[in-house]
Structure 1
């Protein structure tokens, strides 16, 4: 530990990574209409702006975690943050949808290499007891705050009049944070060497696994997003079939590496645990809803109903405040009441989505009603999300806990990208070439009802969990 600075200040330095990566998700969610207009993009271009960041993050998260052992946590943290900042600048100065989307993928990759180092540092600096609980609480609070700040800035920045288009500031806002944190990290983070030998059979990266998973997820996600807009050409169908085949090859490859004593990207032994499989089903259906909710609501409010981006951002700030407040309460209630807390949260989400449909049913909207409704929806999310990891990892052996956590995070980000493709596709397919307000409302209702159905599936799989102790405390 560096004697010149306390570990709590070091915690602030590494927490900047989760702040940047989370803020970047939510700031883009709210600014989507402005970004679409700025790059003269199509509906599918905008879906890809969200989805490719998440796919880059999902695919390389496990590899990023191992990179700290292989190269040293400090080196990986600083280099990954530098890459994140540089690529954010590339996003901010992009001239075409292709330039922006390619940069967004690599921005997600850099986040995947940056985040795991901070989590490992916390485990080392705070070895147990109340200190670790407090440190993880601070780290989680930073992530929650980043979501609220991102929603606020996503509404505010596109309306700012500067020498640059406002939407570009959505990405360039990352630069001052990174340029302040990187020198501090270089000066104060403790130096560390490799904890594994380069030649070790278990030490390196699963290059083949990363390549197969990347190709598989791109082959599934890209045609789901592009196909509708292009009229489903033959190559979209071929890509989907190829994606399914590549996923099958990926799982076979992972089993073979595990049997040979090598370190695979995904430990397939996890799927022998029933609760883990149920937890992954919950993660799939829940996270398909999470970001697609923002996409369809932002498009309806700003493009369909003419809300300003600032007003939309403020609405989602209320949703974020509800989330943060409920998450703090739910973490105390789950050890007492188990999965009932999550089931209550899902019920709140479904009922408030029904209220969304009732209120957002015409050109004239009582905007005052939206604030408490979005706040209530946020409380539902906050009652579910913080304990989903506990659902998936309950009864997992300690030896597999690290692999399970990485698989959970990968599955989570992939599910969000899939939701953007599926739910976003449903929404945009109902708009038609020249949509009016009625088209936007109809598309929104259809997509929101689909999200409600996905949440009902979450409730079903929560019901399958055996008793309240299946969730338990963290």
Structure 2
């Protein structure tokens, strides 16, 4: 131990309710930012002239840095002091949000999103850890963890509604601006109501964090670059991106094996059930990120929903996840995790398969509500046993690393999966565009022909543009089905956990 810092007036015994509110507000801000931007995507695309493939980077830039540096952020809190690191992360998140709101072009927005991810990776794990620092073990801490988990679990739904309201009644920039006063208030309140933690001797596994994050970024860039009709799979940049990604990830494994304090203890992967659960989360997150991204475009572009109506349209999937998770939590100890994991994977596969049948004539009930609720029920059944499996048999001092690994896998899996779906989407859109071109040339008016000539695409809102988008989305979800099938096979043939093998409940902070 290097030092112990809890000076008078630093927060000790000064309103535990306010302390919890500050910590929970931070987690809510970070969690909802993963979805609040989704509803604004069509408006961002129009304002900053993103292509649909490049638009996916608005999501990936955040999730890649957030997921890739999450474990490093938690380690920084242990070494430097959790409150100090917490405030730094919150301020960085607020600054990045301000820059994102003022973004004048796509590059500036993507840089701001990456900076947001770094800020989130710094403050999110320390927010969870500060509960242990500020609340006594027992009922008081358990209640605090319960509130924290409820806030984390509801963040996605709140983000969808908030994104709809802000975009509808102000404009898309406010999905970023809204974080600025919240971050400033949290940074002001933290030193007044939150106690500092003990600082522990240790080292940062910065090489491991950079190798893993940059390796995944290279792979994602390779997939998205391959989607460019002018590039393709044989392009030198595409091949080089994949090669760099593989080399960096191989280097990451070597680094983790040789460093004394690795960011990811690889021994955690020796457990068959844990590895199976992580693989399932990787695959299912890939499909889930695709749903939020592409179905958002469908309901606003093709169904013509406003941003607010689109936010409300996505609430049933959040409700389905929460309800199914409660069922799994209540019965998994008696039945065992495998039936829920396999049954959930079947529902996910059915939901994604249903989405492949989406057409330009699909209604909300059959084209969106039915498949997404089916998918949500499946995900909810899977989340609880996978979270429990991540920490089963892990020593107390490594529980944080195990839960952080699961959260990182979820974020990185979503980014990689979305990039793969985007590659398929782009190829299908090019093919469908060529198919629609003769009909367009035969029936388009002068203004539509002029637009197509200037922008090299069909006019937004036209039946040709809707047909291209819908067909490309349905093709992209074929890959989602493949991810779900891998998850199902993993549940059936890799996972061997039986009733009683898992802990009764997962640590708080492992958010749905």
Same fold (TM over 0.5): yes
What is the distance in 1 between the residues matched to 2:314 and 2:174?
19
Question: Against the structure 1 CA distance between its residues 366 and 284, is the aligned structure 2 distance closer, same or farther, given a 3 Å change threshold?
Answer: closer
**What residue number does 1:58 align with?**
67
What is the distance in 1 between the residues matched to 2:249 and 2:225?
20
Spell out, residue by residue over 1:29-57, the C-alpha distance to the aligned partner (whole angstroms, 9 max, x if none).
22211111121112232111101111111
Contact kept in structure 2, 1:333 and 1:341, CA below 8 Å: no
Q: Which has more radius of gyration?
A: 2
Aligned with 1:195 (options 171, 191, 200): 200
What is the distance in 1 between the residues matched to 2:226 and 2:315?
33
Aligned with 1:237 (options 222, 239, 242): 239
What is the distance in 2 between the residues matched to 1:3 and 1:365?
56
**What residue number does 1:385 align with?**
383
Residue 369 of structure 1, CA deviation:
7.7
**What residue number does 1:142 align with?**
151
Larger displacement relative to structure 2 (203-212 or 57-66):
203-212
Contact kept in structure 1, 2:227 and 2:422, CA below 8 Å: no
Larger displacement relative to structure 2 (301-310 or 124-133):
124-133
Spell out, residue by residue over 1:178-216, the C-alpha distance to the aligned partner (whole angstroms, 9 max, x if none).
2322222121111345232xxxxxx12112222222321
- Is 1:473–2:504 an aligned residue pair? yes
Spell out, residue by residue over 1:224-251, the C-alpha distance to the aligned partner (whole angstroms, 9 max, x if none).
1233124233122112111101111221
Larger displacement relative to structure 2 (386-395 or 145-154):
386-395
Q: Any stretches of 5+ residues in structure 1 without a counterpart? A: 197-202
**What residue number does 1:460 align with?**
489
**What residue number does 2:443 align with?**
none
What is the distance in 1 between the residues matched to 2:495 and 2:121?
30
Query: Mapping of 1:298-313 within 5 angstroms?
Result: 298-313=296-311
Aligned with 1:255 (options 254, 257, 260): 257
Counterpart of 1:431 in 2: which secondary structure?
A: helix
What is the distance in 1 between the residues matched to 2:308 and 2:167?
8
Residue 427 of structure 1, CA deviation:
1.9
Spell out, residue by residue over 1:129-159, the C-alpha distance to the aligned partner (whole angstroms, 9 max, x if none).
5544433221111012221111112223222
Contact kept in structure 2, 1:159 and 1:310, CA below 8 Å: yes
Q: Any stretches of 5+ residues in structure 2 without a counterpart? A: 1-5, 431-456, 459-463, 506-512
What is the distance in 2 between the residues matched to 1:219 and 1:241?
8
Residue 101 of structure 1, CA deviation:
0.6
Residue 126 of structure 1, CA deviation:
4.6
Question: Against the structure 1 CA distance between its residues 191 and 245, is the aligned structure 2 distance closer, same or farther, given a 3 Å change threshold?
Answer: closer
**What residue number does 1:171 align with?**
176
**What residue number does 2:104 align with?**
95
Contact kept in structure 2, 1:305 and 1:437, CA below 8 Å: no
Residue 253 of structure 1, CA deviation:
1.8
What is the distance in 1 between the residues matched to 2:86 and 2:210?
23
Spell out, residue by residue over 1:11-43, the C-alpha distance to the aligned partner (whole angstroms, 9 max, x if none).
221111210111101111222111111211122
Larger displacement relative to structure 2 (223-232 or 420-429):
223-232
Aligned with 1:296 (options 290, 294, 302): 294
Question: Against the structure 1 CA distance between its residues 177 and 65, is the aligned structure 2 distance closer, same or farther, given a 3 Å change threshold?
Answer: same
What is the distance in 2 between the residues matched to 1:130 and 1:460?
40
Q: Indicate the RMSD between aligned Cα atoms, in angstroms.
A: 2.3
What is the distance in 1 between the residues matched to 2:221 and 2:355?
29
Contact kept in structure 2, 1:284 and 1:411, CA below 8 Å: yes
**What residue number does 2:411 align with?**
413
**What residue number does 1:438 align with?**
467
Residue 320 of structure 1, CA deviation:
1.5
Question: Against the structure 1 CA distance between its residues 325 and 276, is the aligned structure 2 distance closer, same or farther, given a 3 Å change threshold?
Answer: closer
**What residue number does 1:111 align with?**
120
- Is 1:451–2:480 an aligned residue pair? yes
What is the distance in 1 between the residues matched to 2:397 and 2:114?
32
